Amino acid sequence: MQKQDSLPLPLAAAPFTFTSAMASGVPLSRLRRKDVINVGRGLYRPAGWDFDLEGAARALSAASPGAWISHVTAARLRCQLLPPWLADSSELHLSKPRSLPSVRRKGVIGHTVLAREDETELVDGIRLSTRSRTWLDVARVLPLHDLVSMGDQLIRMPRMDFEGRAQPYDTIAGLRALVARHPNLQGIVRAREALDLMRVGADSAPESLLRLAIADAGLPEPELQVPLRTGDARSPSADLGYRHRRVAIQYDGDHHLGDAQILSDRRRDKAFESAGWTVLIFDRDDLADEFQRAVQGIKRALRNGWLDHPQASGFAGGA
């Protein structure tokens, strides 16, 4: 029999299981060569493989029946919002129910947890915690404001034209029910605190963080996605705002730097200004400052808005 020198694809391109190697006709003796590294029970990778989170998670999931990819790993695979210090994490988190032995794999962070069947799902061949369960799992490590930001993205109303879905991933009520099922989970207190601070309407993490900075400064809570003309689907809108003070607040992220978007933003802001609103625009520099200067600007605008409209007694309501 001719000696097999190279691993067949896809084994040569990513981590693989012993079972998949046997199914591809690769004998055990071939797996003992120096160009193959055994990274745990029944799990191998090519020696020259460049780390790829999805490939590693796929192989780990296949080699771990009854377990699922979770915590930060699941969040990264789902592109859920994480703070910068975790956004590029190469950690591999694997959760198992208590009925299975604890995770003991080199380079894998194991968790033995209680989870209902509907808290995990199969996505493109990888068993993962759901987005909502992932949010609950990372409550143990995320600061409160980052946890609120991730939660805001779960409950926001999506735009069908851009995202291909019309319903949010979850609701406040759904997340409260999830939290109630796991009263002893690490991070549960922070998860409860985050639920009280979450709001429908934030389209990005910076919008959530700006709203929280406003609250921390003791200012009235702004409305989210404030239309200039209520009841008009084509009306320009502000990310946050105070209708009765006629203060519109915009956070323009990096996607606002294109020429077409800049023109659209100018038309949007001009419409508010022409209607007598004060328009405040913040960007990544304000985010880096944790919105401290932004909050001072909002305070001044609200004070001026009160002087201009002293009859206004509230900060929310109709047009």
pLDDT at 2: 43
| Residue that is written with structure tokens 């034209």 in the block | 161
pLDDT at 37: 76
Residue 21 has what DSSP assignment? H
pLDDT at 307: 53
pLDDT at 218: 96
- For residue 65, say if its preceding peptide bond is cis, omega within 30 degrees of 0: no
SS3 of residue 26 by DSSP: coil
pLDDT at 308: 58
Residues of the chain with pLDDT under 70: 1-4, 40, 254-260, 305-319
Instruction: Determine how β-strand 16-17 pairs with β-strand 247-251.
Output: unpaired
> Which tens digits make up the pLDDT trace of 252-280?
876 555 556 778 889 999 999 999 999 99
pLDDT at 319: 34
pLDDT at 315: 34
Tell me the C-alpha distance between 81 and 153, whole Å. 8
pTM of the model: 0.81
pLDDT at 312: 41
Q: Which residue in 13, 19, 2 sits closest to 28, CA to CA?
A: 19
pLDDT at 163: 83
Alpha carbons within 13 A on the beta-carbon side of 235: 15
Residue limits of CATH 3.40.960.10 in the chain: 202-319
Tell me the C-alpha distance between 124 and 120, whole Å. 13
| Residue that is written with structure tokens 């404030």 in the block | 226
> Which tens digits make up the pLDDT trace of 79-108?
999 999 999 888 999 999 988 888 877 788
SS3 of residue 124 by DSSP: coil
Catalogue the long-range contacts made by 86-94 (C-beta closer than 8 Å, 24 or more residues apart).
Answer: 86/141, 86/142, 90/51, 90/53, 92/56, 92/57, 92/60, 93/69, 94/60, 94/64, 94/67, 94/68, 94/69, 94/70
Instruction: Determine how β-strand 93-96 pairs with β-strand 109-112.
Output: parallel
CATH number of 202-319: 3.40.960.10
